[in-house]
Amino acid sequence: MLANTLAATFKEFTRTTPRETWYSFALALRPKLTRVIADFNGKGGQGKTSVTTHLAGLFAEGQVQQGLPGRVLVVDMDPQGNTKLDLGCGGHELFDNGTALVEAILSGDASRLKIIRDVRPQLDVIPGGKALETIGAKMVGEAMGRGRIAWLGLAVVLADLADQYDWILIDCPPTFPDPQELALIAARWVLVPVSFDEGSIAGLEGVSDKFIATEDLNPDLELLGAVLFGFEHKYYTDKKTKEKRPVGMWVETRSEVEALLEKAGADAPLFRAVIRDARPVAKACRARGQLAFELAQVTDAPKWWEIASGKRQGRTLPTSRAERVGEDYEDLAVEVMQRVVAIEQEEAA
């Protein structure tokens, strides 16, 4: 089996292994990891988990609606483990706070993973959580014995799983450097959510440092693009022409991020889709373990007049607002998928 071959080869490497040998091994993994996207920003609260889970949910739904067999995988590399809230899988018997994921990374053995299957049709999850807080110290020990090659652990595991999945999305933590590095070494693409505060912009600037730090094991890593997250969609309507044009913070931040990308020489876009600020929607989604486009379709929640008349208890759900948020994510999913496919076709030509 490929798992046995990869894991065995991975474990053979030691600090005395010639660099050319482990570099060749690292390069050999790359063709299997072409559709691995890491959502990353070095600052918390930027929407990484929400972007990861919504894109994964929409990619999987697209496969189902088209009658295609391909599956989608979410890998939660964040010790906070919040994908369980978005996808409602925290109570599953295989949810282990990332313990199996850590063991698989250290050994390079995909058979040690606990994969929660079909959290949505054709969508699977490798759960993360508190166990990932320990991986930094464990990686120090692994690196002392096997050298730099030890950091390929996640890449080896995902390369073994890649034939089962059309898309693999990794939710990266904002403040734990070791899980970050493991994720970026495994990824082909980096997608960066950006909000309006200066810390978020600084987080985008820091992505280039991560590229440099992982280049020896992953020279193929590229910036897929950035996406504005958590902005009000505000417009000014010309009284005479009735023409609408965007105004406000999202316009200012777009200009700032585009200038930053141009200055850095990044051949990557700031995607046109903007994920709007909708905290009541986000709160309701996580309380119910649903994504925004799923919440928009809910019909079992109490209506305001039922609560007012005393016929039902609870809270009304912001389903109309959720529909608009869901549309934002749908727009982003289209752009992300089109960009990846276009680059694949260009490279194949």
Mean pLDDT of 68-87: 95
* Structural domain contains residue 129: yes
Q: What is the CATH number of the domain that holds 231?
A: 3.40.50.300
Predicted TM-score (pTM) of the model is 0.91
Is residue 41 scored above 90 in pLDDT? Answer: no
* Structural domain contains residue 315: no
pLDDT category of residue 5 using cuts at 50, 70 and 90: confident
* Structural domain contains residue 262: yes
Number of domains in the chain: 1
Name the packing angle between helices 99-107 and 153-161 (round to 10°).
100
Q: Residue 84 sits in which domain range? A: 2-288+323-348
Please say whether the beta carbons of 190 and 38 come within 8 A. Answer: yes
Between 194 and 73, whose confidence is greater?
73
Name the packing angle between helices 135-146 and 99-107 (round to 10°).
10
* Residue 24 identity: S
* Structural domain contains residue 168: yes
pLDDT category of residue 279 using cuts at 50, 70 and 90: confident
* Structural domain contains residue 295: no
Is residue 297 scored above 50 in pLDDT? Answer: yes
Is residue 1 scored above 60 in pLDDT? Answer: no
Is residue 173 scored above 70 in pLDDT? Answer: yes
Instruction: Quote the pLDDT of residue 313.
Output: 57
* Structural domain contains residue 90: yes
* Structural domain contains residue 293: no
Mean pLDDT of 198-214: 77
Instruction: Quote the pLDDT of residue 93.
Output: 96
- Got the DSSP string for 13-43? --TTS-HHHHHHHHHHHGGGGTTEEEE--SS
* Structural domain contains residue 305: no
HEC profile of 71-108: EEEEEECCCCCCHHHHHCCCCCCCCCCCHHHHHHHHHC
Is residue 76 scored above 70 in pLDDT? Answer: yes
Mean pLDDT of 134-160: 94
Between 305 and 310, whose confidence is greater?
310
Is residue 307 scored above 60 in pLDDT? Answer: no
